Amino acid sequence: MLKKILGTAGTRVLNAIITFALLFVITRNLGREGMGTIGLILLDINIIQLFIDLFAGSSLIYMASRTSIANLLFISYTWIVMAIVFFAFLFSFLGGLFPAIYHTVVPVGYELHILVLTTISAYMLTHYNLLLGKERIKTYNIFFTIQAITLFVSFLFLIYVRDEKTVGSYITALYISYAAGAIVSFVGVLHKEKNFRLFDLSKVAKELFNFGLVTSVANILHIGNKRVGYYFIRYFAGLSSLGLYAAGTQLTEGLKLIGQSISLVQFSTLSNMSDKKYAKDLTIKLMKVSVVLTLLALLILFLIPVEVYVSLFGIDFAEVKPVIMLLSPGVIALSSNTVFAHYFSGMGNPKINLYSNAVGFVVVLILAITLIPFYGFYGAAIAVSVSYLISMVYNYTVFKKQTGAIFAELIPKYSDVVELRQLFNEITTKVR
């Protein structure tokens, strides 16, 4: 498992480097408003994807080892088309009835791009989830890397070779990278797949719905916790302020790759087993690793002088370091909460994540309405951090109640470091 985590972490580190490089190119060539527009477009794609996840999200990971891949592809593909058609009508309806509010959420002129990009991305993510459900972590990491590199190279070509310094260049790069990811991952899903037949579609669809409904609502609330501030900043402070906040968010989210890499392998493993004691012990160990590594990474960001951020992103982004510092408590909370959340999902009990995200969403909504009109992006950062902390406390409380874990078990010990070092040495020896 550690080998899988290291492989996934390596992939995520590469993705974080690419994200940082993209952030540098965007801020240098498109400015704060361009960054703000891109942030809104990506957020809209993510929100639509959350509704698609009802039948094509993490429930596929859970079901991949329990039914035919053909069943899951047929159901998820059909649902993707239905969801996109629904949102196309919804966009048209809201745009005609509430144009001011609508264009606070959906940037003018990008409606069709958002819908088409979401469609391609949804097929790509469907294939990714199936690979994870089959515990084909290495294959998933390869395809994820191909998609990220394609995005970066395409965007660089359009900006510096074609000299097209517009948001449209980023949109074009997304088209190319999503298409590449969807195609190679589709081939990967079919490769070596022997159980490819349709049967009991209604039963499988019902099971996907039962698991996916709770997970999708939980993820919608989670995205609400992370991103509701975007819309409030856009409304109260404009695209320029949103661009700066989005830059700070991108930088801190690079640190989330640690918890994401760990929990991704954790979820894939727990979805294929039923040993509750092993699941508890594994979750505690992984949570401690996630928190410690995230703390070390945050310390590096804190030590970087403001002048370095200015030299990298320009004087318009001089206030990005305070945003990072205000977001940091939430990043630490999320590094542990992600592991707790994937424990509940992997054990087939995603409702806990729904409840914790609901509590967090109520908190972030109240704080966003209260703080953002007066403190702008600083208020948004505070709201998000408090929301993550409260969600983490909720999940920890339930985990403690269900498993009997005591707080002392969650504190990193020297023996944990020794064990981790031994495992790492074993793996590196085998690699050599």
CA angle 320, 17, 6 (to 5 degrees): 125
Average pLDDT over residues 252-261: 69
CB 59 within 8 A of CB 211: yes
Task: Give φ, ψ of 36 to 5 degrees.
Answer: -65, -40
CA atoms within 13 A of residue 56's CA, in its CB half-sphere: 28
Average pLDDT over residues 406-410: 80
Task: Give φ, ψ of 238 to 5 degrees.
Answer: 95, 175
CB 349 within 8 A of CB 279: no
CB atoms closer than 10 angstroms to residue 66: 13
CB 361 within 8 A of CB 224: yes
DSSP for residue 94? H
Distance CA 50, CA 218 (A): 9
**Cα–Cα distances in angstroms (integers) from residue 274 to residues 278, 343, 364, 396, in the given order:** 9, 12, 35, 21
Average pLDDT over residues 222-241: 85
**Residue indicated by tokens 């590594």:** 293
- Say what the pLDDT of residue 427 is: 45
Distance CA 412, CA 416 (A): 6
Percentage of the chain modeled with pLDDT above 70:
88
**Is the confidence at residue 193, as pLDDT, over 80?**
no
DSSP for residue 238? -
Least confident of 58-62, 126-130, 401-405: 58-62
What pTM does this model have? 0.76
Tokens of 401: 């109640």
Sequence-ordered list of residues with C-beta below 8 angstroms from that of 392, at least 6 positions apart, any chain:
333, 334, 336, 337, 340, 356
Q: Confidence band (pLDDT; 50, 70, 90) for 314?
A: confident
**Cα–Cα distances in angstroms (integers) from residue 228 to residues 43, 194, 233, in the given order:** 10, 43, 9
DSSP output for 66-88: TS-HHHHHHHHHHHHHHHHHHHH
**Is the confidence at residue 430, as pLDDT, over 50?**
no
**Is the confidence at residue 287, as pLDDT, over 60?**
yes
- Say what the pLDDT of residue 6 is: 58
Distance CA 134, CA 271 (A): 10
Distance CA 39, CA 363 (A): 23
- Say what the pLDDT of residue 413 is: 74
Tens digit of each residue's pLDDT (9 = 90 or more) over 61-119: 878 877 888 899 999 999 999 999 999 999 999 998 888 888 888 998 999 999 999 99
Is 130 or 348 the better-scoring residue by pLDDT? 130
What SS3 state is found at 374?
helix
Average pLDDT over residues 277-281: 80
Is 67 or 307 the better-scoring residue by pLDDT? 307
Q: Confidence band (pLDDT; 50, 70, 90) for 150?
A: very high
DSSP output for 193-237: --------HHHHHHHHHHHHHHHHHHHHHHHHHHHHHHHHHHHHT
Its sign, for the CA torsion 138, 219, 38, 113, is: positive
The average confidence (pLDDT) of the chain is 85
**Is the confidence at residue 38, as pLDDT, over 90?**
yes
Using alpha carbons only, how large is the chain's radius of gyration in Å?
Answer: 21
Distance CA 329, CA 78 (A): 41
